[in-house]
Structure 1
Amino acid sequence: MRSLSDTLQRLQRYRTSPVMDAGPARLTRLEIANANPGNLFGWYYAPESGDRSGLLALVVVLHGCTQTAAGYDAGSGWSKLADEFGFAVLFPEQSRQNNPNLCFNWFSDNDIERGRGEVRSIREMIDTMVSDHGIDPTRVFITGLSAGGAMANAMLAAYPEVFSGGAIIAGLPYGVASTVPDAFDRMRGHGLPSHQRLQERLRSASPHVGPWPTISVWHGTADKTVDELNARAIIEQWKVMHEVADRPARSDAIDGHEHYTWTNRAGADAIELHRIGGMGHGTPIDTSSGYGVQAPYMLDVGVSSTEHIARSWGLTPSFERRVQPDARPTASNETGSDDRKEVTNYVQDVIENALRSAGLMR
């Protein structure tokens, strides 16, 4: 366990970290009519109803410490992507009353156990979105950064029946800390439970028997805030649920960074790991993609995690694009050979990812 002075110093660093500028407001306040035991705020973005065809998929996005819902949206580009491809986004937001550093309380048993605290509040927000905003309850996903990533993992553990998939960015395993000093220890990679204990904690989080949400883990190899050992522990925690082999079924590179995939007995992708070489603590973005802006903990490393996560969930190939982003080339009589190649590669990527989403291609 770290000393009290060490813990206080780390808390002070969070308190002095700048809160990200949200930029133009794109989100609407969510009126929470049901239970809100975690005393959280809620914000959302949904496309205009005139362009809808059927129910919308929903992505729940959890910000990190010192961040706000609007700030994280501006940095990650989630609402812009949602607008262009026709799905909805929900942003639960922490209050300073709950946590002075705006961290979700992933280390508090009262806030991560099914039916209690912050996880219950987020669950109620999802119900509100389903009932009031035309959400397909079979296509709900969740992602988050750091404390938000740890809380996203807590939601996946406590309510696995709600989600089709989750993406944990620089997060931590479920149920590994019960106090603030413990939390800082685990963030540094100290005192992580055994693989067996990690899996037991996950099994006991809910009465669910399957199917289980897919798990995507993102972590920078130079992260000095949340040690990369946590990424490996998250994967070990979920392996038993998906009944995957110890070794990944395949490895490749995405945008020049390591990518590993574990498949289940049916051969479908169940767990994946993105190791972003040289990246510190934050969400990987690519400002040239047109999604997101660089800011504290929003790191322009040439990889748009927002785009890749949405594509892996079948959100971008499955919906007609509403607006052509400036960053994408369009075919015309004046398009040069290099641009035509880029268009062809993009279309091929969309087709291949749609086939993977349908389980027809590995």
Structure 2
Amino acid sequence: MYKLFVAGALAAGALAAQLTQVSNYNNSAKAKPGMQDITFRRPWWVYVPDAVKSDALVVAIHSCQSSAQKYFQNSKIPWKQGSDRKGYVSVWPSSTTECWDVSSRASLSHDGGGDSNAIANMIKYAVGQYKIDPKKVYVTGGSSGGMMSNVMAATYPELISAVSLYSGVPAGCFVSASGASAAWNNSCSGGQSTATAQKWGDVVRNMYPGYNGTRPKMQFWHGSVDSTLSPNNYQEEVKQWTNVFEVSQTPTESKKDTPEKNYRTDDYGPNVEAIWAVGVGHSVPSHLDASEAWFGL
């Protein structure tokens, strides 16, 4: 009887959901003329929970000096737990450089051929392969992954319904004057890259010229004592996305000690939400319930 029990337990374990690399997916896109065709491929993994109860997809983008596997295994990154609890599929891209490319013209352009293009291809493949509702694709990430989340919202708004990003910077803030891929930008990281709301909004619009469709809801989090990516970037993000959605920079509602003590949540209508974490550095801890609520999960 004991042997039968052990055999059954091992079989059940073998069938348990696990992070799985996706190797052969459609790669038919072509960079625009004049764009550097860096690659449309990046390694990526998918997590399909044992009980799929949702037709939603969450894309979790890792931080610098990390990977899909490390991000997935990080106990402070709760999206595996969310997938198990609510039954949605999650996609985990992996960068081939130390940080994501949020600086080159290729990655900061729709169909430009850079990292953003690679992640867009992952989304397109996953929507078809895992029977995802195209209107239920959500993106999250921290630090460099938060930066890329902003870039994805700007370059591929048609693929994404909502974004919840942690400790990032405005889309396009890390642009490289030399066009270098995955370059560090001291001006942006140090909080010196400031502009009017109109200019920040134009940065987003110029990443996908002519696009006039629906844009993803934007939720972003930033710590007040972040020493890696200046807290000044929080207000620049507010400028950027309130301009894109054509709403005032004055919150329609402000809630103190939400979602926890010393946090402040500011709403700018239904499409922009900013969370200011007093006394928190880099990176702001993920808040699964609040992010899932923003996604409508």
Is TM more than 0.5 here? yes
Contact 1:112 1:151 in 2 (8 A): no
Hey, what's the Cα distance between the residues in 1 that align with 2:26 and 2:108?
A: 18
Deviations 1:150-196 (A, max 9, x none): 11111100111111101121111112221577612201111333322
What does residue 105 of structure 2 align with?
Answer: 109
What does residue 25 of structure 2 align with?
Answer: 33
* Pairing partner for 1:205 from 200, 204, 207: 207
1:67 aligns with 2:66: yes
Hey, what's the Cα distance between the residues in 1 that align with 2:215 and 2:242?
A: 11
Hey, what's the Cα distance between the residues in 1 that align with 2:79 and 2:268?
A: 26
What does residue 268 of structure 2 align with?
Answer: 262
Q: Report the CA distance between 1:32 and its aligned residue.
A: 4.0
Map residues 340-355 of structure 1 onto 2, 5 A cutoff: none
Map residues 114-263 of structure 1 onto 2, 5 A cutoff: 114-115=110-111, 116-176=113-173, 177-178=175-176, 183-206=185-208, 207-252=210-255, 253-254=257-258, 255-256=260-261, 257-263=263-269
Contact 1:32 1:125 in 2 (8 A): no
| Bigger Cα displacement from structure 2, 232-241 vs 192-201 | 192-201
Hey, what's the Cα distance between the residues in 1 that align with 2:183 and 2:211?
A: 31
Hey, what's the Cα distance between the residues in 1 that align with 2:89 and 2:184?
A: 35
Contact 1:189 1:229 in 2 (8 A): yes
Map residues 322-341 of structure 1 onto 2, 5 A cutoff: none
Ranges in structure 1 where 5+ consecutive residues have no aligned partner: 1-24, 264-268, 286-304, 316-362
Q: Report the CA distance between 1:250 and its aligned residue.
A: 0.5
Identity over aligned pairs, percent: 27
What does residue 334 of structure 1 align with?
Answer: none
Deviations 1:245-276 (A, max 9, x none): 2200011131111111010xxxxx11111111
Ranges in structure 2 where 5+ consecutive residues have no aligned partner: 1-16, 30-38
Q: Report the CA distance between 1:307 and its aligned residue.
A: 2.3
TM-score when normalising by structure 2: 0.82
RMSD: 2.0
Alpha-carbon spacing, 1:122–1:182, altered in 2? closer, same or farther (3 Å): closer
What does residue 93 of structure 2 align with?
Answer: 92
Where 2:158 maps in the other structure, the secondary structure is coil
What does residue 34 of structure 2 align with?
Answer: none
Contact 1:30 1:43 in 2 (8 A): yes
Deviations 1:211-264 (A, max 9, x none): 22110010111100001111211121111222212200011131111111010x
Q: Count residues with an aligned counterpart.
A: 260
Hey, what's the Cα distance between the residues in 2 that align with 1:40 and 1:79?
A: 21
1:282 aligns with 2:264: no
Hey, what's the Cα distance between the residues in 2 that align with 1:181 and 1:87?
A: 34
Alpha-carbon spacing, 1:30–1:283, altered in 2? closer, same or farther (3 Å): farther
Hey, what's the Cα distance between the residues in 2 that align with 1:231 and 1:39?
A: 31
